[in-house]
Structure 1
Amino acid sequence: MGGAMESTRELVRLRSEVKAWLETKIPKDVELPTPGHDLGEFWVQWTLNFRKELGAKGWLAPNWPTYLGGGGYSPAASQVIMDELRKRQLPPLGIHGTWTTTLRVWGTEEQKGRWLPPTLQGEIIVNQIVSEPNGGTDLATKATTAVRDGDEYIINGEKGYIGALLPPDYLFILLTMDVNGPRYENLGMVIVDAHDPGVSISHRTTLMGLTQSSFTLNDVRVDPEDIVGGERGGWHVAQTLLDVERGGNGVTLEESRDVEKREREYWTKQAP
């Protein structure tokens, strides 16, 4: 059904298939935690497994192209799948469409190929962490820094997030690339391996009962290939991130077509 014009009958059949499958997968006798609160060991493990099963069926990101790890479904079919998922009480599935869409706009094709397919197929978790414990609302001021050291960058600092998160494999973070550089032009968006020995993650419960996570980075080394949008392009990448977060597309229709054209040309060449 992916990519084709479906009849009403086909969409009804797809909806029935999704509903029946979900009925066999979602626990009925285990209470789901309140949104924003700690998921607990059971729901974390269940969600990680559920994501992989959804990804294998192309239902975790049904509207994304197959060459990026999505299901390749048409808008109508994707809507059917997402509607059925939204009807259920589910823990956060950890897709973070804001960072994936932002990477699609600003990332190189090699970066997309490295991180998007395993994310959209449920194999890895990437946490989008932009804020800092003492950063307030000033997006352009980041105490976390990346300092050039030969062919690598060394990252030090602390990031924070309030809300339930699945254990991350990577972090998508905004930081300062040049402490002496002009405001807005000294930022970079970097993807960091969360399993690096220099990354430590801690959690605490706020007075409101929400989970607050802290990510401390001590001498974490990254390659320039891990920087999204260029070494001084972080502010522009962050603006796209915010636009998508607020319901926008991050790009104009013409820019979106250019992105898709470059992708098709690249992935056509990669096909065996």
Structure 2
Amino acid sequence: MDFSRVQLDDDDQKFQDEARRFLSELVTEEVLRRDRETGDNFDEGVHLALGASGYLEREWKPRSEHAFTRIQRRIWDLEKRRAHVPWVTSGTTAMIVKSVEKFGSPEVKDEVLPRVYSGHVRLCLGYTEPDGGSDVATCKTRAVRDGDQWVINGSKMFTTGAHNCQYVFLITNTDPSAPKHKSLTMFLVPLDAPGVEIQGIRTVDGDRTNIVYYSDVRVPDKYRLGEVNGGWTVVREPLDAEHGAVDAAVDGLADVSIMMHQAGFMAAAVDKAAATSTVANPNGRRLIDDGAVGYRLGRCVARLEASLSAPSIFGRVALAQTMRDIAPDLMDILGAASALPSGTDGAADDGAAEYAYRFAPLFGIYGGTLEVFRNMIAQYVLGLGKPNYSPAKT
């Protein structure tokens, strides 16, 4: 792995300066406060401003005349994370838009894509079901053809961002008698269709996600993506992107892990803990004066840096496991005041470690559990074969 620094030419340096200035003015303290309160991880004003300024089209439309170069794309990703741009709904939209371009009907592409690039349309993922766990192919939400329409019935859990989106990338079962990977059909369902009901759910880290009910929802066939019962082909690309199971870019500039944005909160917690440890208390003593504190902070930094450097699906596992391991350590180092959340008087680090602690369990669940990812690494990278879940013989 090459850790050498990329030297920016004048044009790229100018782009970085402009992007940093634009985002610093756009993502204000009010935006961040509102995002913490709502748990949406989305701000419509910010998103529309990104669209109006052309950044969404440059990022998501690689054939655009003004598309980012590879280095500009890397700079843009870094600057968004540095500014803490609310990210979830942009992330799901970015994954789905490629499938719409590839599998969507001409009518749907004309209806959806221009408004995606302007920021007025956002897309969310309709995968997980209440009884489905991490295996999206066990889908029970039914789509039954009725002439040139489909009638959809079922429910989906953890459809994050649905209340801020206009369409859902929905996986359905169109042939219950077929093997599970050959019974699936994908649709881009308008969320304002009659029969769609969105109910909010709060997670332990304060984020909002949703359960969405589909009751006799009628969807014209033009909203079907790909072939009937060929949905697994359609869903694989965004699913692999969400899992981080993608090939590394030859120039080495791609994100090392799909969850790198979320890892920024962990890095901020480590930085704040280190800074807090150097501040003297009323007795003139600093936490860092204790050799055990220095050792533990150093271990946290080392774990953090190693996880940030891990590529693709390995990074997906390393980042989540690292946050689970070091968040309790950071809170223990900082003491009781670290249990106070952001914005609370007396919080040791403005709630950074406390948020990382609450977010850590979910970090290992979003997009699939750590156990699933470890099985994928074992099976597809190490060649250890499929997991055997059959009961032990006695």
Structure 2: any 5+ residue segments left out of the alignment? 1-7, 251-394
2:39 corresponds to: 39
CA pair 166-152 structure 1, distance change in 2 beyond 3 A: closer
Rounded Cα–Cα distance in structure 2 between residues aligned with 1:75 and 1:207:
37
Rounded Cα–Cα distance in structure 2 between residues aligned with 1:51 and 1:210:
18
Identity %: 26
Check if 1:63 corresponds to 2:65.
no
2:257 corresponds to: none
State the 1:48 CA deviation.
0.9
CA deviation profile, 1:82-131 (whole Å, cap 9, x unmatched): 32212112222522222222333333454433322211321111111211
Rounded Cα–Cα distance in structure 2 between residues aligned with 1:212 and 1:64:
24
Does the residue aligned with 2:237 lie in a helix, a strand or coil?
A: helix
Rounded Cα–Cα distance in structure 2 between residues aligned with 1:71 and 1:52:
18
1:124 corresponds to: 121
**Corresponding letter in the other structure for 1:74:** T
TM-score (norm 1): 0.76
State the 1:187 CA deviation.
0.7
State the 1:54 CA deviation.
0.8
Structure 1: any 5+ residue segments left out of the alignment? 1-6, 254-272
2:72 corresponds to: 77
Q: How does 1:63-212 map to 2 (within 5 A)?
A: 63-65=59-61, 71-92=66-87, 94-95=89-90, 96=92, 97-161=94-158, 167-206=164-203, 209-212=206-209
Please, which of 217, 220, 225 is the counterpart of residue 222 of structure 2?
225
Rounded Cα–Cα distance in structure 2 between residues aligned with 1:200 and 1:10:
48
**Corresponding letter in the other structure for 2:69:** S
2:25 corresponds to: 24
Q: Which shows bigger deviation, 22-31 or 236-245?
A: 22-31
Does the residue aligned with 1:219 lie in a helix, a strand or coil?
A: strand
TM-score (norm 2): 0.54
Which one has the bigger helix percentage? 2
Rounded Cα–Cα distance in structure 2 between residues aligned with 1:122 and 1:184:
33
State the 1:16 CA deviation.
1.7
CA deviation profile, 1:115-173 (whole Å, cap 9, x unmatched): 22211321111111211111123322212111111221101110111656651211111
CA pair 66-114 structure 1, distance change in 2 beyond 3 A: farther
Check if 1:234 corresponds to 2:228.
no
**Corresponding letter in the other structure for 2:76:** I
2:240 corresponds to: 243
2:39 and 2:207 in contact (8 A); partners too: no
State the 1:17 CA deviation.
1.6
CA pair 79-194 structure 1, distance change in 2 beyond 3 A: same
Check if 1:48 corresponds to 2:44.
yes
2:266 corresponds to: none
State the 1:72 CA deviation.
1.7
**Corresponding letter in the other structure for 2:183:** N
Rounded Cα–Cα distance in structure 1 between residues aligned with 2:134 and 2:48:
35
How many residues align? The count is 239
Rounded Cα–Cα distance in structure 2 between residues aligned with 1:101 and 1:170:
14
Rounded Cα–Cα distance in structure 2 between residues aligned with 1:80 and 1:143:
41
2:272 corresponds to: none
CA pair 85-19 structure 1, distance change in 2 beyond 3 A: same
Does the residue aligned with 2:136 lie in a helix, a strand or coil?
A: coil
State the 1:248 CA deviation.
4.7
Which one has the bigger strand percentage? 1
